[in-house]
Amino acid sequence: MKKFFYRKQKYSIDPNGVVTKKSFSNIALIKYWGKKKNKIQIPLNSSISYSLVDVYTVTRLIYHLKKRKERNFSVRVFFSGKEKISFIPKILEFFHRISFYCSYLRDFNFVIETENTFPHSSGIASSASSMSALALCIMEIEKKLVSSLKEDFFLKKASFLARLGSGSACRSIYPGLVVWGGHKSIKGSNNLYAIPYPYQVHPIFTKMVDTILVIDEDPKEISSSKGHQLMNYNPYAKERLKCANKNMERLISILKVGDLQDFGELIEHEALSLHAMIMTSHPYFLWMKPNTLNVLYKVWDFRKQSRKNIYFTLDAGANVHLLYPIQEKKFIMKLIYNDLFSYCKKIIESFCI
């Protein structure tokens, strides 16, 4: 399968140029947590996310053909106009991982210029949108070099490459609902690249809003890559995997019939399961802050009283994502500004389509 993405052929090289690509952030409904041992970026379980169309990264990749062939990669990175030497090791590691599939990378000097639409230190993981935007730029160069490249291959390979930069980034290649990781009930799902969710989705789930309540802007003390590793020693890991697989099965029928209450119950359970894993790892840790809990209790109270469909999910951190159908937006924004705003540093809003 991996050989599929390897192309050994002579390229007719464009000496200089620039490509620009945009890629969304995403929020997982069924969370990817844990990687297979001794494999590169292969998930323990299958995951599904909504792409957040208003929360994205724009990347420009400028390339100049090197005068002389050399083994080393050459890259400079600018983030919001400022050179970021600290980003280089991650980019070089990414280039090393993908060099087998993109041998042309060594032939160019690269400058990466990247910007996010969301505030920099907002605690919103930018690795998914930034790695997928970079993977799309690299594929855009490949498209210039290989004229016969088809759109379907372009997207599959972009997702395959993005995965090697940051696991969840492979889902950011597509809008809407996106699946990564093989699951027996999802046709075409696999561990190497993400696919658009292939089944029927009730209209209610095609117009959802995600309001992100930024509770903590600081970088996490335990990064998600460290967290994934800790799953290898977590005493509850096996049960978590069984549960994630069952939750995916349940979600397929929920998405079809349009049952919002079941959807909400399921995504909240997933979010808390993810946090339970980090709380029971060695070393253990808490990503939630007091204000995360304050928000969760308020959401539960509000839901009981109003019977509105507002549900939360959590990422690997303290921030809360509130998911609800667009029809309920006016009412729910009132709740957010009246009752939840005081717990947050910032609010970021996006459609999930």
* 316: contact with ligand PMV by CB under 6 A: yes
Q: Write out the two tokens for 229.
A: 């590793």
| Residue found by looking up tokens 């041998």 in the block | 103
* 168: contact with ligand PMV by CB under 6 A: yes
Q: How far is the CB of 74 from ligand PMV (least distance, A)?
A: 26
Using alpha carbons only, give the angle 89, 94, 99 rounded to the nearest 5 degrees. Answer: 125
**Cβ–Cβ under 8 Å, residues 217 and 121:** yes
| Residue found by looking up tokens 């594929």 in the block | 139
Closest CA to 25 of 142, 164, 100, 130: 130
Q: How far is the CB of 227 from ligand PMV (least distance, A)?
A: 7
Q: Which of 34, 167, 181, 325 lies at the binding interface for ligand PMV (CB under 6 A)?
A: 167
**Interface segment toward ligand PMV; rule CB under 6 A; list 10-18, 25-33, 69-77, 93-101:** 25-33
* 127: contact with ligand PMV by CB under 6 A: yes
151-159: Cβ within 8 A, 24+ apart: 156/5, 156/193, 157/5, 157/101, 157/193, 158/132, 159/132, 159/135, 159/193, 159/194
CA distance 131 to 261: 34
Return the number of other C-beta atoms located less than 10 Å from residue 351's C-beta: 16
* 23: contact with ligand PMV by CB under 6 A: no
Q: Write out the two tokens for 204.
A: 């209610």
CB closer to ligand PMV out of 142 and 168: 168
Q: Which of 21, 25, 31, 140 lies at the binding interface for ligand PMV (CB under 6 A)?
A: 31
* 281: contact with ligand PMV by CB under 6 A: no
Q: How far is the CB of 103 from ligand PMV (least distance, A)?
A: 26
* 32: contact with ligand PMV by CB under 6 A: yes
Q: How far is the CB of 303 from ligand PMV (least distance, A)?
A: 24
* 323: contact with ligand PMV by CB under 6 A: no
CB closer to ligand PMV out of 142 and 268: 268
**Interface segment toward ligand PMV; rule CB under 6 A; list 161-169, 184-192, 261-269, 335-343:** 161-169
* Residues 221-280 close enough to bind ligand PMV by CB under 6 A: 224-225, 228, 274
CB closer to ligand PMV out of 48 and 141: 48
Q: How far is the CB of 31 from ligand PMV (least distance, A)?
A: 4
Q: How far is the CB of 157 from ligand PMV (least distance, A)?
A: 18
* 315: contact with ligand PMV by CB under 6 A: yes
The CA-atom distances, in angstroms, between 18 and each of 21, 67, 261 are 10, 18, 47
Closest CA to 309 of 326, 334, 284: 326
CA distance 184 to 119: 38
CA distance 133 to 146: 20
Q: Which of 25, 45, 47, 122 lies at the binding interface for ligand PMV (CB under 6 A)?
A: 47
Size of the site for ligand PMV (CB under 6 A): 16
CB closer to ligand PMV out of 196 and 258: 196
* 166: contact with ligand PMV by CB under 6 A: yes
Interface residue list for ligand PMV (CB under 6 A): 28, 31-33, 47, 125, 127, 166-168, 224-225, 228, 274, 315-316
